[in-house]
Amino acid sequence: MLELTDRVAAVVGAASGIGQAIAIALAEQGAVVECADVDTTGVEETVAAIVAAGGTAKASTVDVRVSAEVDDLFARVVADRGRLDIAVGTPGINIRKPLIDYTDDDYTAVTDVNLRGSFHVLRGAGRIMAKQGGGSIIVISSISSRAVEPGQVIYAGTKAALAQMVRVLAAELGPAGVRVNAIAPGPVETALTVPIRSSAAWADAYAQKVAVGRWARPAEIAGPAVFLASDAATYVNGEVLFVDGGWVDLDAQFADESAVGSP
């Protein structure tokens, strides 16, 4: 049910991190993948990795903040392949500082990528998939859509807004056979989290918030994306799938191992 042979996918943000891992994972399951990103070198490296493993992929340069570029990307995919079965939007940025220290430029930088960019992906893919009568759209939210952390007001706000956008769009496009879902990762080893991981104490504090006691690898977010894109998830719509190792729903950790029951 997870097989994606001959499905046509477009992954926006495929040059690195979670987007790169998702593009590779979709290709491993047989999808034909259009890998797009503003980072031309990175996206070409992703395509090279897919092709070297026997997959089919093509590189495109796109700035997710520009609606015409996103629309043109999806139009090219349809022109080349005849349809668009899977669309994934992963770009996101964060500027960590208290709200009262935020500048107008800070606010614009974060919202332009996280909200405006995701809106462009949702709208562009949604228009095409509604006409063709089916498809799966996946975007990346965050545990910050529910978890509270000082210095995250604007980032958390965009990710919470995106979660609600997914739910409403799923209701709008569901009758046309289009599924819209989001993945909300916990701490993941990507370029976005380098400022945290560069501090051993800070990185360890994040790891200890997770039931499994460690950060996620990007590939561990790619598996859920494959699921949401596949026929295994044909009845999953309007969901925000938390892939956080147990961060959000676990309020406490056992400090005494003797208190933990043996299997």
Q: Which CATH architecture has domain 8-239?
A: 3-Layer(aba) Sandwich (3.40)
What pLDDT score was predicted for residue 198? 74
List residues bridging with 8 in a β-sheet.
Answer: 32
What pLDDT score was predicted for residue 253? 52
Q: State pTM to two decimals.
A: 0.91
What pLDDT score was predicted for residue 259? 44
What pLDDT score was predicted for residue 204? 81
59, 38, 181, 209 alpha-carbon torsion, rounded to 10°: 120
Structure tokens at 115: 């909200």
What is the DSSP secondary-structure string of 154-202?
HHHHHHHHHHHHHHHHHHHHGGGTEEEEEEEE-SB-SGGGHHHHTSHHH
What pLDDT score was predicted for residue 262? 41
What pLDDT score was predicted for residue 258? 46
What SS3 class is residue 8? strand
Of 102, 107, 155, 206, the active-site residue reads: 155
Query: Could you report the average pLDDT of every consecutive run of 10 residues in the chain (263 residues)?
Result: 96 96 98 98 98 98 98 98 98 94 98 98 98 98 90 95 98 98 90 74 78 86 97 98 84 49 44
What pLDDT score was predicted for residue 203? 77
Specify whether 235 is catalytic. Answer: no
Do 114 and 157 form a contact (C-beta atoms < 8 A)?
Answer: no
What pLDDT score was predicted for residue 174? 98
List residues bridging with 135 in a β-sheet.
Answer: 178
Residue pLDDT, tens place only, 198-222: 778 777 877 788 878 888 899 999 9
What SS3 class is residue 144? helix
